[in-house]
Amino acid sequence: MTSTARLTLDPAFLIGPVEPRLFGSFVEHMGRCVYTGIFEPGHPLADADGFRTDVLELTRELGVTLVRYPGGNFVSNYRWEDGVGPVEERPARLDLAWRSLEDNSFGLNEFMAWAARAGIEPMMALNLGTRGVAEALELVEYANYPGGTRLSDLRRAHGVDKPHDIRLWCLGNELDGPWQMGHKTAREYGRLAAETARALRRLDPGVSLVACGSSNSGMPTFGQWEAEVLESAYDLVDYISLHAYYDPADGDVDSFLASGADMEHMIRSIAATADHVGAKLRSRRKIKLSFDEWNVWYQSRFGGEASLEWAEHPRLIENVYDVTDAVVVGSLLITLLRNADRVGVACQAQLANVIAPIMTEPGGPAWRQSIFHPFALTARNARGQVLRVEPECTSVSTDKYGEAPAIWATATLDDTGEITLFVVNRDRRGPCELRVALPQGLLPAEHLELADDDLSAVNSAADPDRVAPRPGTGLRMDGRDATLTLPPVSWTMIRFAPQE
Ligand code: AHR
């Protein structure tokens, strides 16, 4: 059954600028994200610092602009001092988050050297689980103070003369979660976040700070946690974080395909919560949202931390993504852009091997998973301003979210007048005939599509390009309107360029 839909691209309806920080990623000391992911001394393609150059190239191709580090749950029991200084003197430690043995051969200065080579902005997380204000201050002094103090001089003694000048800091990670080392109540965390923020701003007034929001929207304190934390820290932080993982193996496929609509509901709920606190405080500031962990994750297949045996960089949650997963990732990126007036930072979790767009084999190749493609194309082509796009379309019934629109879309307008449309057909029942009303003088310049007769197709080391975007067909102009057929469960990108 073919459905129909229409949408209008109008340069007058602007949401806000495309913030480059929306195309962030995440490197955690977890499984093989760092070790044998981005860092593998001795690999045939490793550079002199042990960074895998094949992974660096893929990171640049992915278009990642920012990377959050070093966790995640890992950070809540991490001592940053263990990861700096001469490697042979660094202690081995137990990582309690993932029951892993951490040799600390990769730490802050290695990450910053890697970040420079990858051309990304660092986003650093502080341990506010087992540690507090003093240790946070020490890390920021080591990283950002030019010199002449014990910790800034220690950095210089470690071979890093100029300060790292890290602008973006997370005040802990998921501290509402009972699985977190140093888990806290909202009151306890709100006070700690406020006091840490106050002290850090005294040390470095130029930092931007992210307070922890809920670990996910299913937490019993979702909404209440954000309100209580912001009541303590509203004037001292810039962002509140959101985390969401969508599990294809948990529930019906139509709900999974509607994940982008759920993400939008979550964003708008937390924006409203933050604004409610702002109103009560008579504040004119707006707290922005940092969606600093999002992705598809087959979480129900993970036995949990307690099921893990102690090991050194084990294979953890190395999910293999199929076509449907890629379409959902494309729709989550559409949601982030649709809410670009409120979401200032976003990080897909994670970059390599651990629920990641980039896979590697130790000593072997690196390749792109299916989810790599919508991310890379969106990061490369979403430029300028986001346009408000509201398709008229049919809906799909879902078990979890009720009726969800079958067509999910956003568009951006750059300063040359080019408009790029990103659109997903979430309907499994059939294709959709889409009519796009365009401004005068625009013609299609590029049309790419991610779709497949086999929705369970995946990429692998042996067949790395099985799932990839292909040129779309059948796009035609009808006056100023473009019409095309969106295959069922598909992600499409079309660039419309001004006529020469
Ligand atoms: O990304 C994997 C884990 O998911 C992170 O460590 C944690 O913050 C989240 O629960």
Residue 346 pLDDT grade (very low, low, confident, very high; cuts 50, 70, 90): very high
Q: Which of 186, 270, 184, 266 is closest to 221 using CA atoms?
A: 186
pLDDT tops 90 at residue 455? yes
The Cα 4–Cα 169 span in angstroms is 45
Minimum CA distance residue for ligand 1 atom 9: 72
Cross-strand bridge partners of residue 476: 483
pLDDT > 70 in the chain, percent: 100
Q: What are phi and psi of 498, to 5 degrees?
A: -60, 140
293 lines ligand 1 (CB under 6 A): yes
Question: Catalytic residue at 174?
Answer: yes
Q: Which helix (H) or strand (E) holds 329?
A: helix 323-338
pLDDT tops 90 at residue 30? yes
Minimum CA distance residue for ligand 1 atom 4: 72
pLDDT > 90 in the chain, percent: 98
pLDDT tops 80 at residue 500? no
Of the candidates 19, 102, 293, 449, the residue annotated as catalytic is 293
349 lines ligand 1 (CB under 6 A): yes
- Residue in 173, 308, 355 to alter for ligand 1 test, most ligand atoms within 8 A of Cβ: 173
Atom number of ligand 1 nearest to Cα 215: 10
**What does the domain layout of the chain look like in residue ranges?**
3-10+387-498, 19-381
Distance between Cα 250 and ligand 1 center (Å): 18
Minimum CA distance residue for ligand 1 atom 7: 72
72 lines ligand 1 (CB under 6 A): yes
Distance between Cα 72 and ligand 1 center (Å): 5
Encode pLDDT of 402-438 as tens digits.
999 999 999 999 999 999 999 999 999 999 999 999 9
CATH top class, domain 19-381: alpha beta
Q: Is CATH 3.30.230.80 correct for 3-10+387-498?
A: no
The Cα 434–Cα 443 span in angstroms is 16
Angle (CA) 126 129 134, round 5°? 60
Q: What are phi and psi of 339, to 5 degrees?
A: -115, 30
124 near 69, Cβ under 8 Å?
yes
Encode pLDDT of 379-390 as tens digits.
999 999 999 999
Encode pLDDT of 251-282 as tens digits.
999 999 999 999 999 999 999 999 999 999 99
- Residue in 33, 102, 174 to alter for ligand 1 test, most ligand atoms within 8 A of Cβ: 174
Distance between Cα 152 and ligand 1 center (Å): 31
DSSP state of 348: E
Query: Is 3-10+387-498's fold the same as 19-381's?
Result: no
- Torsion of the alpha carbons at 296, 297, 301 and 304, rounded to the nearest 10: -160
